[in-house]
């Protein structure tokens, strides 16, 4: 799949915004569908099988955060929240419910295009080196299958959570600044609050740490960023050959 052939579902109850996005992104050769409410969105989601959903929070019959969770429970779809709700608490809610990105209205179409392109880059084919599994004792990160397991039990991560954990684990012991993580994982110059990284790190910790309040795998370097501390393992955190 090339980025230009990706399938995008736009869910917004405002017909002017839906049509604006449809016309603009269709010119970029994306395959487009749209829905005005949650019920129609879920029906189209099953039929269209989109790579990305551009999703409003306030819908006539649904809350976008709930739709985001429902869609991601079915496939590994990416979700870009597009909403007028721009408070920090609203953004936290969106990221905690699985959103890959969050853009507030009013928005610039070129910025939307950049965000969409950056998200869809994550679907690129990975190289053989990138497909090698990383083994850290009982934690296994498999980029080929995009799966994480602990004690052979699968850990349910969103697409963005997987990318963030994988990038950290590929650089064990290295302190990574929030700005660097955004550039490498989000793959564009994010102009919003860098606390977005903290929110996603917090979600990952809840899923992989024994005690998320005292994390041992992903450690905070105060005033700088984060580092992945590999536990003792026979692989020493290196890719399997």
pLDDT tens figures, 227-241: 999 876 434 444 444
pLDDT for the residue 193 = 64
Q: Look up the pTM and report it.
A: 0.64
3-state secondary structure of 145: coil
Half-sphere exposure of 149 (CA within 13 A, CB side): 10
3-state secondary structure of 221: strand
Q: Where are the beta strands (DSSP E) in 43-146?
A: 52-55, 78-83, 101-104, 134-136, 139-142
Residue ranges for the chain with pLDDT beneath 70: 1-4, 123-131, 187-193, 232-241
pLDDT for the residue 204 = 94
pLDDT for the residue 124 = 53
- Residue-range domains of the chain with CATH: 3-123 (3.40.50.2300), 128-228 (1.10.10.10)
State both tokens at 85. 């709700």
pLDDT tens figures, 201-215: 999 999 999 888 889
pLDDT for the residue 184 = 84
């Amino acid at each position: 799949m090339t980025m230009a052939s990706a399938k995008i579902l736009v869910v917004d109850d405002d017909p002017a915004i839906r049509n604006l996005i449809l016309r603009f992104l269709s010119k970029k050769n994306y395959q487009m569908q749209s829905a005005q409410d949650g019920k129609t969105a879920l029906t189209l989601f099953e039929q269209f099988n989109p790579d990305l959903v551009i999703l409003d929070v306030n819908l006539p019959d649904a809350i976008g955060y709930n739709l985001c969770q429902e869609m991601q429970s079915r496939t590994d779809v990416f979700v870009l929240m597009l909403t007028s709700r721009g408070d920090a608490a609203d953004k936290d809610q969106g990221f905690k419910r699985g959103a890959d990105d969050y853009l507030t209205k009013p928005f610039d179409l070129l910025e939307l295009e950049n965000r969409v392109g950056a998200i869809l880059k994550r679907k690129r084919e990975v190289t053989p080196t990138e497909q090698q599994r990383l083994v850290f004792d009982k934690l296994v990160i498999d980029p080929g299958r995009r799966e994480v397991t602990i004690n052979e039990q699968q850990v349910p991560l969103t697409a963005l959570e997987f990318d963030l954990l994988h990038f950290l684990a590929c650089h064990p012991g290295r302190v990574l600044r929030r700005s660097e993580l955004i550039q490498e994982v989000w793959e564009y110059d994010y102009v919003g609050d860098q606390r977005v990284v903290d929110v996603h790190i917090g979600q990952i910790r809840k899923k992989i740490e024994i005690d998320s309040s005292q994390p041992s795998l992903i450690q905070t370097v105060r005033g700088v960023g984060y580092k992945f501390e590999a536990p003792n393992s026979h692989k020493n955190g290196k890719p399997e050959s």
